[in-house]
Amino acid sequence: MLALAYRLRGTAVRQTGHPQQAVEDLTRAVNLAPDESSYFQRAATYQMLGQPTLAIADLDQVIALKPDDPQAYFARAQSRRALGDTAGANQDHRQALVLDGR
Protein backbone atom coordinates (compact mmCIF):
# COMPACT_ATOMS: atom_id res chain seq x y z
CA MET A 1 0.00 0.00 0.00
CA LEU A 2 2.87 2.36 0.76
CA ALA A 3 4.32 1.74 -2.71
CA LEU A 4 1.03 2.84 -4.27
CA ALA A 5 1.08 6.04 -2.22
CA TYR A 6 4.61 6.87 -3.39
CA ARG A 7 3.69 6.10 -7.02
CA LEU A 8 0.62 8.33 -6.90
CA ARG A 9 2.49 11.15 -5.19
CA GLY A 10 5.39 10.84 -7.63
CA THR A 11 3.03 11.02 -10.58
CA ALA A 12 1.26 14.06 -9.12
CA VAL A 13 4.55 15.80 -8.33
CA ARG A 14 5.78 15.21 -11.89
CA GLN A 15 2.58 16.75 -13.26
CA THR A 16 3.16 19.85 -11.17
CA GLY A 17 6.52 20.37 -12.86
CA HIS A 18 8.94 18.77 -10.37
CA PRO A 19 10.23 15.70 -12.18
CA GLN A 20 13.42 15.26 -10.12
CA GLN A 21 11.41 15.13 -6.90
CA ALA A 22 9.02 12.73 -8.61
CA VAL A 23 11.91 10.35 -9.40
CA GLU A 24 12.62 10.09 -5.67
CA ASP A 25 9.05 9.04 -4.88
CA LEU A 26 8.83 6.70 -7.85
CA THR A 27 12.12 5.07 -6.91
CA ARG A 28 10.75 4.45 -3.43
CA ALA A 29 7.69 2.86 -5.01
CA VAL A 30 9.83 0.61 -7.22
CA ASN A 31 12.00 -0.41 -4.26
CA LEU A 32 8.99 -1.24 -2.09
CA ALA A 33 6.99 -3.15 -4.70
CA PRO A 34 8.46 -3.35 -8.19
CA ASP A 35 5.51 -3.44 -10.57
CA GLU A 36 4.92 -2.35 -14.13
CA SER A 37 3.00 0.80 -13.16
CA SER A 38 5.77 2.19 -10.96
CA TYR A 39 8.45 1.38 -13.53
CA PHE A 40 6.34 2.96 -16.29
CA GLN A 41 5.75 6.16 -14.33
CA ARG A 42 9.43 6.47 -13.46
CA ALA A 43 10.34 5.86 -17.12
CA ALA A 44 7.97 8.66 -18.16
CA THR A 45 9.67 10.92 -15.65
CA TYR A 46 13.12 10.02 -16.94
CA GLN A 47 11.91 10.85 -20.45
CA MET A 48 10.74 14.23 -19.19
CA LEU A 49 14.19 14.78 -17.66
CA GLY A 50 15.90 13.92 -20.95
CA GLN A 51 17.39 10.67 -19.62
CA PRO A 52 16.38 8.11 -22.26
CA THR A 53 18.89 5.46 -21.14
CA LEU A 54 17.31 5.33 -17.67
CA ALA A 55 13.85 5.35 -19.23
CA ILE A 56 14.75 2.37 -21.41
CA ALA A 57 16.01 0.42 -18.41
CA ASP A 58 12.67 0.93 -16.66
CA LEU A 59 10.68 0.17 -19.80
CA ASP A 60 12.62 -3.06 -20.20
CA GLN A 61 11.33 -3.98 -16.74
CA VAL A 62 7.76 -3.09 -17.73
CA ILE A 63 8.03 -5.30 -20.81
CA ALA A 64 9.52 -8.15 -18.77
CA LEU A 65 6.62 -7.93 -16.32
CA LYS A 66 3.90 -7.31 -18.91
CA PRO A 67 5.11 -8.24 -22.41
CA ASP A 68 1.73 -7.54 -24.02
CA ASP A 69 1.65 -3.83 -23.05
CA PRO A 70 1.75 -1.75 -26.24
CA GLN A 71 2.29 1.51 -24.31
CA ALA A 72 5.62 0.23 -22.99
CA TYR A 73 6.80 -0.45 -26.54
CA PHE A 74 5.58 2.94 -27.78
CA ALA A 75 7.41 4.66 -24.91
CA ARG A 76 10.59 2.63 -25.39
CA ALA A 77 10.53 3.50 -29.10
CA GLN A 78 10.47 7.18 -28.14
CA SER A 79 13.48 6.78 -25.85
CA ARG A 80 15.40 4.72 -28.40
CA ARG A 81 14.73 7.37 -31.02
CA ALA A 82 16.08 10.02 -28.63
CA LEU A 83 19.32 8.02 -28.44
CA GLY A 84 19.54 7.74 -32.22
CA ASP A 85 18.63 4.04 -32.29
CA THR A 86 16.29 4.29 -35.25
CA ALA A 87 16.24 0.56 -35.96
CA GLY A 88 15.37 -0.29 -32.35
CA ALA A 89 12.76 2.45 -32.24
CA ASN A 90 11.13 1.19 -35.43
CA GLN A 91 11.11 -2.38 -34.13
CA ASP A 92 9.45 -1.30 -30.87
CA HIS A 93 6.95 0.83 -32.75
CA ARG A 94 5.97 -2.10 -35.00
CA GLN A 95 5.59 -4.38 -31.97
CA ALA A 96 3.42 -1.79 -30.23
CA LEU A 97 1.15 -1.58 -33.27
CA VAL A 98 0.78 -5.37 -33.37
CA LEU A 99 -0.08 -5.53 -29.67
CA ASP A 100 -2.46 -2.63 -30.04
CA GLY A 101 -4.31 -4.47 -32.80
CA ARG A 102 -3.53 -2.00 -35.56
pLDDT tens for each residue of 25-74: 999 999 999 999 999 999 999 999 999 999 999 999 999 999 999 999 99
**Which of 101, 61, 93, 99 is CA-nearest to residue 41?**
61
CB-CB contact of 79 with 55 (8 Å): yes
pLDDT for res 40: 98
Helix, strand, coil % in the chain, rounded to nearest 5: 80, 0, 20
The answer, yes or no, to whether residue 102 has pLDDT greater than 90, is no
pLDDT for res 93: 97
In the chain, % of residues over pLDDT 90: 97
Q: Rounded to an integer, what distance in angstroms lies between the CA atom of residue 2 and that of residue 97?
A: 34
Q: Rounded to an integer, what distance in angstroms lies between the CA atom of residue 94 and that of residue 53?
A: 20
SS3 category, 89: helix
Stated pTM of the model: 0.94
pLDDT for res 53: 98
Question: Domains of the chain (ranges plus CATH)?
Answer: 2-99 (1.25.40.10)
